[in-house]
């Protein structure tokens, strides 16, 4: 039965979505690869309406239709219990969910506040007005974001203290080996790196910089390849 991933489209066809990257890495962690990737524009809600979702990613796995990156991770963990675990048990799943919630509610919006100006240029032409219309009420005018961002960088980097310390203490956020918690946080940083390569969200001597590189190298350098593309 086919495995089909619905992921956000972009002007140059590269996968940019932070939530899409969580799922791409979670699939690879389970030793799975989608048979097909369907690219969905922000303004193509009809393509994912069958999943009762207005957001990507959506995964179709045979008869299962799963929307939302956390729910997809849970589906993969439960449907493929004999493959490497994404969570490492029920208590760890709850902690990974905390990381997932933090990454979705705090980290990804904070990153968006830095890179939405570039994202608006890399989004599909049909999506650019939509992105502005939906994001500017929340984040402010994109031109202002670009002007103010260097002044916001130190506070952002300081806010990553708990993530930085955990990665230094454990090697990975998940522990001695990488897991879904790493992918949930990594998605936001990788998004920034893909979209705004010249804007250094992380300093080169930050342990999180090295951690991001380590995630890039996982699963045959899957995320790293997207940087070169
Ligand atoms: N909670 C969702 C969030 C997914 C999400 O926000 N996806 C973005 C693409 S990165 C989206 O589809 N946005 C649609 C829109 O803003 O209309 C998940 O974890 O999958």
Instruction: Provide the percentage of residues in the chain whose pLDDT is more than 90.
Output: 99
- What one-character DSSP code corresponds to residue 104? I
CB atoms within 10 A of CB 226: 17
Ligand 1 mean position, distance from CA 67 (Å): 10
Nearest CA to ligand 1 atom 2: 68
Q: Are 100 and 182 in contact (CB under 8 A)?
A: no
| pLDDT tens column, 103-152 | 999 999 999 999 999 999 999 999 999 999 999 999 999 999 999 999 99
**Alpha carbons 119 and 123: distance in angstroms, whole number:** 6
User: What is the whole-number distance in angstroms between the Cα of residue 104 and the centre of ligand 1?
Assistant: 10
Strands (E), the chain: 3-8, 36-40, 58-61, 64-67
Q: Of 28, 29, 24, whose CA–CA distance to 174 is shortest? A: 29
3-state secondary structure of 108: helix
Q: Which atom of ligand 1 is nearest to the CA of 100?
A: 19
| Distance (Å, whole) CA 201 – CA 221 | 21
| pTM, entire model | 0.98
Q: Which of the listed residues 10, 41, 55, 73 should we mutate to test ligand 1's pocket, taking the one with most ligand atoms within 8 A of CB?
A: 55
pLDDT at residue 1, rounded to an integer: 74
pLDDT in tens, 166-176: 999 999 999 99
The per-residue pLDDT for 229 is 63
Substitution site in 6, 9, 19, 191 for ligand 1 pocket (most atoms within 8 Å of beta carbon)? 19
Print pLDDT tens along the chain (229 aa): 799 999 999 999 999 999 999 999 999 999 999 999 999 999 999 999 999 999 999 999 999 999 999 999 999 999 999 999 999 999 999 999 999 999 999 999 999 999 999 999 999 999 999 999 999 999 999 999 999 999 999 999 999 999 999 999 999 999 999 999 999 999 999 999 999 999 999 999 999 999 999 999 999 999 999 998 6
User: Inter-axis angle of helices 207-228 and 18-29, to 10 degrees?
Assistant: 90
């Amino acid at each position: 039965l086919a495995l089909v991933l619905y992921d956000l489209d972009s002007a140059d066809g590269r996968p940019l979505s932070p939530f899409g990257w969580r799922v791409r890495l979670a699939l690879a962690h389970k030793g799975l690869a989608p048979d097909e990737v369907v690219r969905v524009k922000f303004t193509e809600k009809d393509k994912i309406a069958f999943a009762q979702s207005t957001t990507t990613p959506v995964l179709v796995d045979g008869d299962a239709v799963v929307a939302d990156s956390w729910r997809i991770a849970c589906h993969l963990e439960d449907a493929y219990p004999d493959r490497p675990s994404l969570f490492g048990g029920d208590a760890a799943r709850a902690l990974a969910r905390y990381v997932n919630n933090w990454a979705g509610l705090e980290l990804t919006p904070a990153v968006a506040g830095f890179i939405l100006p570039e994202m608006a240029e890399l989004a599909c032409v049909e999506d650019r007005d939509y992105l502005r219309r939906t994001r500017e009420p929340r984040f402010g005018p994109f031109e202002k974001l670009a002007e103010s961002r260097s002044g916001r960088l130190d506070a952002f980097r300081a806010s990553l203290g708990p993530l930085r310390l955990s990665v230094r203490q454990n090697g990975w956020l998940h522990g001695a080996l990488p897991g879904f918690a790493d992918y949930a946080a990594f998605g936001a940083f990788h998004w920034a790196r893909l979209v705004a390569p010249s804007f250094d969200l992380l300093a080169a001597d930050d342990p999180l910089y090295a951690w991001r590189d380590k995630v890039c190298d996982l699963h045959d350098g899957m995320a790293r390849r997207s940087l070169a593309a």
